Structure 1
Amino acid sequence: MSKALVWFRRDLRDFDHAALFHALKSHAQVYCVFVFDIGILDALQLRADRRVEFIHRSLQALDGALRARGGGLIVRHGDPVSLIPALASRLEVAAVYANRDYEPAALRRDADVADALRTLGIGFQDFKDQVIFEKDEVLTQAGRPFSVFTPYKKTWLKQLDDFQLKAYPVEKYAAHLAPPPEGESLPSLESLGFEPTNLTELSIPVGMEGGRQLLEDFRRRISRYKARRDFPAAKGVSYLSVHLRFGTVSIRELARLAHAVGGEGAETWLSELVWRDFYFQILWHHPHVVSHSFRSEFDRVAWDSAPALLEAWQQGRTGYPIVDAAMRQLLHSGYMHNRLRMIVASFLTKDLGIDWREGERFFALHLNDFDLAANNGGWQWAASTGCDAQPWFRIFNPVTQSEKFDPEGAFIRRYLPELARVPDKYIHAPWTLPPIDQKLASCVIGEDYPAPVVDHARARERTLARFEVVKGPGETATEG
């Protein structure tokens, strides 16, 4: 009787799952495993990490769903390079199935697992699952990978068809699921070396059911997505990013929704999913972006070493309310609105003159939805060092960005209660409030709220000078 083992990673669901479907279709008995990878967990700096708790609780839900189908989840804690081959050998499976990952470290891990399995006479098969198009599936007419988004998107949309969006009917072969061996149970969060977080307090829905709830809620709002997505005080975005990151929803399901609904809102949201694929293929074709600029000439840019300014940015005390509110939202919840990610990244790199890699590392530490490809792509876009990036001479003005996207200061006041009584006219630049009015508003600058750590106009001039090393003909500065 042919047996297989499905290795779950960032795909924590029992539906529309490529590897699970192919294993169930091809084998009479299919076991399921998840490994808490010490290579990843040991590198985490926070013992109270919302992502680990999100995974842990999502695994509980996945195990329950698999048991309801007659299967269940085997959970291990350690090095998958040794644990997966050992488990596969013990279960006497013919092959291990997994969904493909695209990060350099994951590629090395999977290659090592495949080699170890091969020595045991066990196969390893991986499948496309977390993207719509991967690797070389969307290329220029010359057969090269795209480095500019708009033509990539046009080709992506032209190639999109029902086959790419088709769900994998796991339920058709679910009878082939095998229950875990006796004595298997999910380890506690504490036994993994982690502590509970404020995930419950934040009311962040977890697992497949949480993903379904958010998707159904967004389905009712998707037509307004384009109009509302840039305003952090409004409920305009999907809030599905952490579920997409850990695979408690299916990318095909999300793309089908956007494709079926149509209209400006759905089309704009679909573009965001295309950006996600775009950054995955950039990482695949250009792995040097993990530590270097996409465009090598931008490695010549000399960034400042400014630990005090970096700490002020990290802690949300730069004196620029929209920046500080965004950073405090991140620290409190592990979430940051996409428009705010652009604003704070521009501020770090072009107002403070600090290397984008510092910001990328901080986001990697705190973002619930941290994804190497998208995080790296977003930071290099903001810093103007990446592919199809914002031009280096376009510099966001944090005050005008705040006035445009949080006009009444509703978001700012939510995360900066010390500014609660500052009038709307001054909420975006409270240092301009006359001293007597600062006292009346219980917000004395320099005491109750920091003075700006830099002057934007002067910082802008420094940035223009900084990027002179890569300046091309005809490039002139603009303010965003």
Structure 2
Amino acid sequence: MSDASAAPVIVWFRQDLRVADNPALAHAARMGRPVVPLYILDDQTAGPWAPGGASRWWLHHSLSALGGALCDLGAPLVLRHGRADVALRTLVREVGADAVVWNRCYEPHAIARDSALKADLKADGIAVDTFNAALLAEPWTVKTGSGGPYKVFTPFWRCVREGLEPGPPLPAPTRLTAPAAPPAGDRLADWALLPTRPDWAGGLRDHWTPGERDATRRLTDFLAHAVDRYPEGRDYPAQPLTSRLSPHLHFGEISPRQIWAATEGRGGIGVESFQRELGWREFCHHLLYHFPFLPEQPLNPRFEAFAWDGNAGHLAAWQRGRTGYPIVDAGMRELWTTGWMHNRVRMIVGSFLVKHLLLPWTAGQAWFWDTLVDADLANNAASWQWIAGCGADAAPYFRVFNPVLQGEKFDARGEYVRRWVPELAGLPDRVLHQPWMADPVTLRAAGVRLGHDYPHPIVDHKAARQRALDTFAAIKDDNG
């Protein structure tokens, strides 16, 4: 039983917006004191990596769901905004707390902020306990034989698997006690996280339900209906064979330990392939922890001399899904409408940006940061560097995806393109992925006027590929 007269403990929520398998919350509940759950909207400390538009939409609904769950447990969620160190210390004084707990974050700005705040609180006599709630293995625990960080995924994942003992997920507390006089907080609506005019979030609402409950439902449905076909089916964007758990994982509505517990022991190559994707997420966080410059600078320093193009018109065409390459445009329109993009298509549109258009990977990273509901600093930076050829274990820069062949291979019947590029829906499969090859009769029959209803390609594939290879050869020659 909780002693309502005891000094309360503050549980600072961040990227762990759930009540089950939440080590910080479970620890606070075991302390037998009043609990003050807290979320701080801290855009100042995050700087350029404050949540983008799609992430803010998700955050609003995720906090609403978490607030409801905590109210049901007996301890309302307190919302504050501003610098996290200031807001947290203010609340400590207001409620007379003598303990603060949180689950660790791994972004460079969060590590710096949390380390300083932890030291300050302890200097003031406040007990601070922190926990791992976001990763199967924390970045500093996985080392090469020489004691350094891994830069290649396969040996990294092998090392993690060999030492993995995540333990069972923690149950949600059955009851929490709030202080006799709960502190005041902001109204979620006053944070204006949702778009107003124009309201561009209709597609997000149609495709997503943020919150712990839907995260659990998605995992259950995926394991019941899709995981056995995942190894092959995950490459075909028209097929619903991916888990779509990435935003739920980023916001901590479900933990990797919960996913691991649900999959371990099932066996089969589908489960192994899916678990390997959890491993890639772990690898990205490993890289960001050991190389905190990852979102701004190439891991391979040779690429600092790369002669990127600065064509703003090409960037805008890519962002709007108006490149003239149907599989690329379908992906970019899916992203804008739903806040998400199929992983195979992410590789295609990423390769097109950095290799066909010679636009810097940081431009793609920034657009994804604003438009993805699963925008995650570690995954976003590491994956963009991978596709650009300048990161860890990267795809070679000279591997240039042919967007026509990619479309014909992974969307052979055109279901994906016809959904997201409906102006081309009437074209036959043989020219759907290269409409410029259709004869005038076929175009008229499909109601397509190239240059009016749908653009001509903004670059020629063969010429763009050669330009990319020549540009790469220049830095290769300069650096030996």
TM-score (norm 1): 0.92
1:91 correspondence with 2:95: yes
2: CA distance, partners of 1:235 / 1:300: 41
Of the three residues 143, 146, 149, the one matched with 2:150 is: 146
1:127 correspondence with 2:135: no
Equivalent residue letter for 1:224: R
SS in 2 for 1:16: coil
The match for 2:233 is 228
Distance 1:176 1:334, change over 3 A: closer
Of the three residues 272, 291, 297, the one matched with 1:292 is: 297
Equivalent residue letter for 1:157: R
1:309 correspondence with 2:314: yes
The match for 1:28 is 33
1:449-468 equivalences under 5 Å are: 449-468=454-473
1:216-365 equivalences under 5 Å are: 216-220=220-224, 221-365=226-370
2: CA distance, partners of 1:233 / 1:411: 5
Of the three residues 437, 443, 450, the one matched with 1:438 is: 443
Does the 8 A contact of 2:323 with 2:458 survive in 1? Answer: yes
1:81 correspondence with 2:90: no
The match for 1:189 is 189
2: CA distance, partners of 1:268 / 1:116: 44
Deviations 1:225-261 (A, max 9, x none): 1121111100010011111110111210112222222
The match for 1:478 is none
1:17 correspondence with 2:22: yes
2: CA distance, partners of 1:317 / 1:195: 24
1:416-427 equivalences under 5 Å are: 416-427=421-432
TM-score (norm 2): 0.92
Does the 8 A contact of 2:79 with 2:188 survive in 1? Answer: no
Does the 8 A contact of 1:309 with 1:352 survive in 2? Answer: yes
1: CA distance, partners of 2:301 / 2:47: 32
Deviations 1:396-452 (A, max 9, x none): 111111111111111001011110101110001000001232122111211211000
Equivalent residue letter for 2:189: L
The alpha carbon displacement at 1:460 in A equals: 0.9
Equivalent residue letter for 1:189: A
1:178 correspondence with 2:182: no
Of the three residues 105, 108, 113, the one matched with 1:109 is: 113
1: CA distance, partners of 2:205 / 2:158: 42
Equivalent residue letter for 1:204: W
Does the 8 A contact of 2:20 with 2:172 survive in 1? Answer: yes
The match for 1:159 is 163
Does the 8 A contact of 1:438 with 1:444 survive in 2? Answer: yes
1: CA distance, partners of 2:155 / 2:167: 21
2: CA distance, partners of 1:414 / 1:429: 16
Does the 8 A contact of 1:81 with 1:116 survive in 2? Answer: no
Distance 1:45 1:272, change over 3 A: closer
Does the 8 A contact of 1:99 with 1:127 survive in 2? Answer: yes
SS in 2 for 1:206: coil
The match for 1:448 is 453
1: CA distance, partners of 2:179 / 2:230: 43
The alpha carbon displacement at 1:167 in A equals: 1.4
Distance 1:178 1:128, change over 3 A: same
The percent identity for this pair of structures is 38
Give unpaired runs (5+ residues) of structure 2. Answer: 1-5
Deviates more, 1:202-211 or 1:365-374: 202-211
Distance 1:349 1:239, change over 3 A: same
Deviations 1:354-412 (A, max 9, x none): 11111000100100000010001110010000000001111111111111111111100
The match for 1:168 is 170
**Number of matched pairs:** 469
Equivalent residue letter for 1:178: A
Deviations 1:93-139 (A, max 9, x none): 22211111111111222134324424532233221110101122121
SS in 1 for 2:109: helix
The match for 2:3 is none
Deviates more, 1:374-383 or 1:183-192: 183-192
Deviations 1:166-202 (A, max 9, x none): 212443xx54542584474661434436436326641
Does the 8 A contact of 1:45 with 1:365 survive in 2? Answer: no
The alpha carbon displacement at 1:45 in A equals: 9.9
SS in 1 for 2:130: strand
Of the three residues 46, 67, 80, the one matched with 1:63 is: 67
Of the three residues 214, 234, 249, the one matched with 2:218 is: 214
